Amino acid sequence: MDERRDAAVRLFHVSKSYDAGSFALRDVSLEFARGEFVFLTGPSGAGKTTLLKLLFAAEQPSEGQIVVLGRNIARLGESAIPPLRRRIGVVFQDFKLLQSRTVEENVAMALAVVGTPRREARAKVFSILKQLGLQHRRYHHPLSLSGGEQQRVAIARALVNEPEILLADEPTGNLDPDLTVDIMDLIASTAIRGTTVVVATHELGIVGRYGKRTIRLDQGRITEDKKAVGVASGM
Amino acid sequence: MKRIGVRLAYFVRTAWRGLRASPVTSAVAVMTIGISLVLVGAFALLLQNMESLLDKLGGELHVTAYLEDGLTQGQQQEIAHLIGTVEGVESVSLITKEEAFERFRRGVGRGSALLEGLADNPLPASIEIALVASRRSASGMAMVVASLDGLDGIDDLASGQDWVEGYMRAVALLRGLGVGLGAILALATLLIVANTIRLAVFARRDELEILSLVGASHSFMQTPFLLEGILQGALGGGVALLLLFALFRVVLPGFEFGLELVLGGVSPRFFALGESLALVATGAGLGLFGSAAAVTGGWRT
């Protein structure tokens, strides 16, 4: 199969600037295959979060083209953004969970958006929580959970609709080292099931542990694109 | 179809949750709508009853032609026949001087002894003229009176035209006041509902951010707020209906004399089912427009 045609994400000379002359991303071109696991690394302000925001259409590129799951982000109308986002799961460092809702309700939000009947939604939520070892916590509120558990709830919400792409922005930034490994193992396992996974992190220890493709950003530019261990280099 | 049902259920649940999440703000909005609709509803109720009086009077409206003295019975009957042919006249009834006096005597009752001292019968003969249904109004009556004016043998024409016209002017004035008051109150209500919903949107900004991230469309996020506005409005309409009914049943009977003055012999009537539902629907409509003003525009994906 043609690898280029099968790409989940393609960026062509993408730049993003918020102020004139100040670039968060500059002339970035890259491609993520379907099912690929990619780390985005670099210091704070390198452009990792900006790149992720461009991928789920929270931002528009200032220059260049971005094609995500066959849709050109730069030309996407407002009404086309929600359907695209339903195919993308997003996980944040601060979890973004509603404290007033139970774990089950938090995860079910993603299913409500796609019109899943309530009974079916409960079954799906139970299934994903079970996979993440949280089924016994489904009626608890997030504040009664540990940081690791909260992040697993956020991952459950991101995965419950079986997205084609999973984006994670510093998903272990608020977690202890032990929990960090647990959460990263969980995220890595989704790539095995065919989901394209892009993780932005500045924790190089984690990056080294998985031996996956690693793109280093610095001041908005790609400074290194290291292929996964055992994969031939070259774009 | 099933998906629409699922979404509708979600919207209703979310709207209800929104109402319960800010009970004080919601209650203030509901009471504001309720009080506004009580005022507008009271006007509507008064107008409805005044119009009932006009309808009732319409059936009883007639013109009386007083005849000159000295006419023979034959001449009187001839005039009556002539009047009967005028357009808009349904029937005529001749009242002789004697019959008029007898009626008057019966009307005076126990004081009729005073009439014994009268040397002559001072009352004129008259013709009572009933109008066809289409002329039972102030303007219809005026047309018939104009046709009869100047007819030989008729001394004077009397009708309730002036009174009916005055009453109709009062009804029109009240209706205008009601519409003006209603417009001002509707605007105030819209602003209050809009602000309540804006507060609700602000309070739920985290939820909206998450919904947007998981692919909710604008309409998906806005619909529960619109429903919340409709619910507030409908509840306000319900409150108004209950208050009006309580006022109608408890307070109104205490103003019997005033009612008699305004409504004559018409018994006050409360709103029928359709009108009651219209009041609640008006509240719901105000809630919908208020919440629509709050949630349309300015949403970012």
**Does B38 fall in a domain?**
yes
Q: What angle, rounded to 10 degrees, do the helices at B218-246 and B273-295 form?
A: 140
- Rounded to whole angstroms, the Cα distance separating A13 from A66 reads 9
B134, B259: one domain: no
Which residues lie below 8 Å from residue B123, measured CB to CB, with a gap of 6+?
A: B97, B100, B101, B104
* Residue A5 pLDDT > 70: no
pLDDT band of residue A234 (cuts 50, 70, 90) is: very low
Instruction: Count the Cβ atoms, other than its own, within 10 Å of residue A180.
Output: 21
Substitution target from A54, A76, A113, A118 for chain B, most B beta carbons within 10 A: A113
Contact A95, A150 (CB under 8 A): yes
Average pLDDT in chain B: 85
Contact B210 A112 (CB under 8 A): no
B272, B242: one domain: yes
Scan for tokens 């349904």, then name that residue.
B90
Interface of A with B (CB under 8 A): 56-57, 78-79, 81-88, 90, 96, 98, 100, 109-110, 112-118, 157, 161
B27, B43: one domain: yes
B288, B182: one domain: yes
Rg from Cα positions in chain B: 31
B275, B175: one domain: yes
**Cβ contacts (< 8 Å) between A112 and chain B: which residues?**
10
B170, B273: one domain: yes
**Does B300 fall in a domain?**
no
* Residue B281 pLDDT > 90: yes
* Residue A1 pLDDT > 50: no
pLDDT digits (tens, 9 = 90+) for B45-65: 888 888 777 777 766 678 889
B125, B250: one domain: no
pLDDT band of residue A205 (cuts 50, 70, 90) is: confident
Q: What is the mean pLDDT of residues B226-251?
A: 93
**Nearest CA of chain A to the CA of B201: how many Å?**
15
Structural domain ending residue among the three candidates B159, B191, B212? B159
Structural domain ending residue among the three candidates B118, B140, B159? B159
Q: Look at A60-74, A121-135, B164-178, B282-296 and tell me which has the smallest mean pLDDT.
A: B164-178
B114, B95: one domain: yes
pLDDT band of residue B226 (cuts 50, 70, 90) is: very high
**Nearest CA of chain B to the CA of A115: how many Å?**
5
Contact B215 A157 (CB under 8 A): no
The count of structural domains within chain B is 2
**Does B209 fall in a domain?**
yes
pLDDT band of residue B277 (cuts 50, 70, 90) is: very high
Q: What is the mean pLDDT of residues A51-68?
A: 94
Q: Look at A30-44, A120-134, B17-31, B58-72 and tell me which has the smallest mean pLDDT.
A: B58-72
Question: Which residue type, as a one-letter code, is found at position A14?
Answer: V
* Residue B230 pLDDT > 50: yes
**Nearest CA of chain A to the CA of B270: how many Å?**
44
**Does B2 fall in a domain?**
no
Any idea what the CATH number is for the domain that residue B124 is in? 3.30.70.3040
What the block records as the tokens of A66 is 């971005």
Q: Which residue range is the domain that position B238 belongs to? A: 8-56+165-295
**The A165-169 sheet, strands edge to edge:** A88-92, A165-169, A196-200, A37-41, A213-218, A221-226
Domain boundaries, chain A: 1-87+164-230, 95-162
Contact B215 A57 (CB under 8 A): no
B130, B174: one domain: no
The pLDDT value recorded for residue A3 is 42
Superfamily of segment(s) A1-87+164-230: P-loop containing nucleotide triphosphate hydrolases (3.40.50.300)
Contact B128, B66 (CB under 8 A): no
B85, B121: one domain: yes
B97, B213: one domain: no
Contact A85 B213 (CB under 8 A): yes
The pLDDT value recorded for residue A55 is 96
Scan for tokens 């510093």, then name that residue.
A170
* Residue B286 pLDDT > 90: yes
Which residues lie below 8 Å from residue B9, measured CB to CB, with a gap of 6+?
A: A118
B184, B136: one domain: no
Scan for tokens 């004081």, then name that residue.
B111
Average pLDDT in chain A: 90
What the block records as the tokens of A201 is 């992190």
Instruction: Tell whether ipTM is more than 0.85.
Output: yes
The pLDDT value recorded for residue A96 is 94
pLDDT digits (tens, 9 = 90+) for B110-160: 667 777 777 788 889 999 998 887 877 777 778 888 888 888 888 888 877
**Does B217 fall in a domain?**
yes
* Residue A231 pLDDT > 70: no
